[in-house]
A = this chain, B = another copy of it.
Amino acid sequence: RRGEMAKSTQLIDNEVFRAFATYTAIVLLKMMLMSLITAYFRITRKAFVNPEDTATFGKGESAKKYLKTDPDVERARRGHLNDLENIVPFVGIGLLYALSGPELSTALLHFRIFTGARILHTFAYLIPLPQPSRGLSWAVGYSVTFSMAYKVLKTAWLL
């Protein structure tokens, strides 16, 4: 029985926490993918910002022309920053939400909608899809985080 109890106190054995861990890993990996997409555009568009990154293209003036901005690079960077601005609150508030004792089905609903919305947001930003695709997918993810924050504040409130 001791082992049983010890086990039940491990967060990773809690189903809501397992769901949180799964979706958090997925959205953070998706966010990390933005680095690779930015790097891809920097290399294929030959658009760099650090002089040391253009050294392979030669020295002096011949390399200097690769220190430029490119619309695709900037777009990927904006998508990455938008991920940071939205996925950071999801992870922080989502962790507290997962520990606040929600029903598994309710928690899964929150995590699935947020994850789907952020994947859509990335496609809407990178393709790009016409508005309001990007705006709506952003708003859906934002609302999910807001809903979890409400549950956290209702459960934990101690000011």
- Interface on A for B, CB 8 Å cutoff? 2, 5-6, 8-12, 15, 17-19, 21-26, 28-29, 31-32, 34-35, 49-50, 52-53, 55-56, 75, 78, 80-81, 84-89, 91-93, 95-96, 99-101, 128-131, 134, 142, 145-146, 149, 152-153, 155-159
Interface centre among A19, A49, A92, by most chain B C-beta atoms within 10 angstroms, is A92
Give the distance to chain B from A133, nearest Cβ to Cβ, in Å: 9
For the residues of A in contact with B, the DSSP-based class is helix
A15 contacts which chain B residues (CB < 8 A)?
158
On whether the beta carbons of B19 and A92 are closer than 8 Å, the reply is no
A87 contacts which chain B residues (CB < 8 A)?
88
Give the distance to chain B from A44, nearest Cβ to Cβ, in Å: 16
26 A-B contacts, Cβ less than 8 Å apart?
Answer: A5-B5, A6-B9, A12-B99, A12-B156, A21-B96, A21-B99, A21-B100, A22-B156, A22-B159, A23-B159, A24-B92, A25-B96, A25-B149, A26-B153, A31-B88, A32-B86, A32-B89, A34-B85, A35-B86, A49-B78, A50-B134, A81-B81, A84-B85, A84-B88, A88-B91, A95-B95
Given contacts A22-B158, A28-B92, A50-B75, 20 further A-B contacts (CB under 8 A): A12-B99, A12-B155, A12-B156, A21-B100, A21-B155, A24-B96, A25-B93, A25-B96, A28-B149, A29-B146, A29-B149, A31-B89, A32-B86, A32-B145, A34-B85, A50-B78, A50-B134, A53-B131, A81-B81, A88-B88
